Structures are given as C-alpha cells and as structure tokens.
Amino acid sequence: MKKIFFILFMMLISSSSLAAGGLEALTVTTGENGAQSYSLTLQVLILMTVLTLLPAIFLMMTSFTRIIIVLAILRQALGTAQTPSSQILIGIALFLTFFIMAPVFDEIYETAATPYLNEEMEMMEALQLGSLPIRKFMMAQTRESDLKMFSGIAGKKEFSEPSEVPLSILVPSFLTSELKTAFQIGFLIFIPFLIIDLVVASVLMSMGMMMLSPMIISLPFKIMLFVLVDGWVLIVGTLASSFYT
C-alpha cells in the first residue's frame, strides 16, 4: 500500500518531473538478424496498475470525501434539485481538495519525490518518507474512537505512537471519521433552511392554502438568505479551515 500511495502522489504532483527524468516506456532490442523485439519496463507496468486504483485512493486519503458530502447536503437543504449540477459540485470539491492538500503534496515532493528522482535515495526510503506527510494529515483528522474500533477488529494492540499505526487501519479510520464530520457539518447547515420551510408551511396552513407546495414559496427565501450571508464563501472557508485546526 505504501508503494501505491507514493506512486500516486508522484503522478499527481510531479508528472512533469517524471517526464523530464526520461522514464523509458518501451525498449527496442535489435537482434543479429535485424529483427526487433519490444518490451515494457517494470516501472511503467506499476504506473499503469496504479492508474486503475487512482480514484479510490484519491477519495480515501484526502479531504475530498468531507467536501463533496457537505456540498451535496447543502444542495439538498436549498431544495434547488440539480442546481448546481453534480459536475459543478465535483469540480468545486476537486479543486478545493487540491488547495487543502497542497502543503502535504509539497512536503511529499520535497522530501521524497525529488531526492528519489535525482537518485539520491533508494525506493524504499523514499516510500517511507513520502508516507509521513499524508499519514500526519490523516491522523490529525481521525478520531481516537475510530482507531480503537478498527484496531480491535484487526486484533491489534493499542499503538503508543501515530507512526506505528499501519495504513490498513489508518485509512478506514480516517474515512469513517470524515463521514461523521461531514454529516455533523451538514446538519448545522440544514437547520436554518429547515426553519424557513417550517415557517412557510405554517403560514400557508394558517391561510388555508394547503394545496400549495411550501417548497415553491420557501425556495426564493432560502436562496435570498444564502446569498445575503455570502453562503458560498462561508461554506468553502469553513471546509478549508476545518482541516487546519
């Protein structure tokens, strides 16, 4: 898993460096009789394998999960159906993830990727150094109760230091913690919009307009409230700052 993780972030951060390093994708060998044979290097095969796991790794080991869940709950609370569209929400979550994870990516690039590409350290040493920043990031967002639960399921004892926690336990613990945090934020976002729906429904019922859908009347008020308080800046700023506390 460490190898997969390091190669993933090398592709995300330093794809240009890989190209500049002259990674030989295809080897052409000419025989004595003039015939040519072709062979792929092992590094290219590893990179192609990692490409198939790239979406899952990106979802599990970054801030993307929390962001996309909160944005989806926000859209549901506003009641705007497919506005913004799913493609726009994913785009916002993706670039906000790059912004939040930029310090982690930079640290991995400086401490592990660059020395390895310059042939200043061995592969295993680079893998160990490259896993430290992402491990530190995930540990800072993971609840201790989630770590204990997965450690107990795996039959592992309690760990005295964060560096002793294997990625096989840290990743699912981080993911469940992110889900819980995302729904907590979503709950707080949902409350003011729910109050508007309740007020509008009560007014319509008191006026005897029970056949009129409260959603049609409350939607403009919810949009107006969200715009007046500069909702997008508040939501995006809160999400970004929640990873630095």
User: How confident is the model at residue 34, as a pLDDT?
Assistant: 59
Residue that the structure tokens 């800072």 belong to = 140
Closest CA to 39 of 16, 31, 117: 31
User: How confident is the model at residue 36, as a pLDDT?
Assistant: 52
Q: Is 27 helix (H, G, I), strand (E, B) or coil?
A: strand
User: How confident is the model at residue 20, as a pLDDT?
Assistant: 40
User: How confident is the model at residue 44, as a pLDDT?
Assistant: 65
User: How confident is the model at residue 183, as a pLDDT?
Assistant: 92
User: How confident is the model at residue 199, as a pLDDT?
Assistant: 84
User: How confident is the model at residue 12, as a pLDDT?
Assistant: 46
Helices (H), 61-122: 64-78, 86-108, 114-117
Q: Is 82 helix (H, G, I), strand (E, B) or coil?
A: coil
What digits encode the pLDDT tens for the residues 146-192? Answer: 888 888 887 777 776 766 778 788 888 888 999 999 999 989 988 88
Q: 0.85 exceeded by the pTM?
A: no
**How many angstroms separate the CA atoms of 6 and 8, rounded?**
5
Closest CA to 183 of 48, 68, 94: 68
User: How confident is the model at residue 19, as a pLDDT?
Assistant: 40
Which parts of the chain register pLDDT below 70?
A: 1-47, 50, 123, 160, 162-163, 210, 212, 244-245
Closest CA to 11 of 49, 66, 41, 63: 49
User: How confident is the model at residue 238, as a pLDDT?
Assistant: 85
Q: HSE, CB side, 13 Å, CA atoms: give it for residue 66.
A: 27
- Angle, helix 167-206 to helix 64-78, in steps of 10 degrees: 10
